Structure 1
Amino acid sequence: MTNEQILLETWRTLPTDKQLQVLEFIKSIQSNSSESESSYHPKTELGKKLWQIRNKAIAEGKIKLLDWEGIEQEIAQRRGETE
C-alpha cells in the first residue's frame, strides 16, 4: 500500500473537524516549504550558476521535481527492481 493510499484510508476514518485540521496542517507545510525553497541562496559562484540552470529548467518544463515516492521508484528502476 502506498503512502497516498494509507493517507486516504486514514482520512476517510476521521471526523470532519479532524479532516479540516489535517487540511490546515498540509497548507502550513506547503507554505513553509515554499518559503524555505525561495529563501535559499547559493554561496559560491558555481552554486549560483547551478541554481539558475535548475530554476530555468523547471520553469521551461524540461525537468520535473520528484516527490518522495517518485524518488523511490526511480531508485528501484535504476537498480533493476521494477518490471
Structure 2
Amino acid sequence: AGNAATALSPAEGAPAPAAAPGAPAAPAAPAAPAEGAPAPAAPATEPALVPAGTQPVITPAPAPAVAPASNHGTAS
C-alpha cells in the first residue's frame, strides 16, 4: 500500500505515462473523457492508479456479475 501511495505522487506529475498503461486497462471509459479534454485525464488518473490495486476497481465490475448468480442461487 505504501508503494501505491508513493506512486500516486509521481503519477500526478506525469499523467501522460500513466494514461498509456491505464488506457489499455479500461480504454472504453477513459477514451471518451480523454477526447473531451485533459481535465478528464485527472479523474482518469485515479482509475489508472487504482489498477495498481485492481482488486478495488475489479470488485465493483464483478460484483454485478455475481449479483445475478446469487439471485439464481437464492431462487433455488
* TM-score for the superposition, normalised by structure 2: 0.32
Of structures 1 and 2, the one scoring higher in RCO (CA 8 A, sep 6+) is 2
* TM-score for the superposition, normalised by structure 1: 0.30
Structure (1/2) with the larger helix percentage: 2
Structure number with larger C-alpha Rg: 1
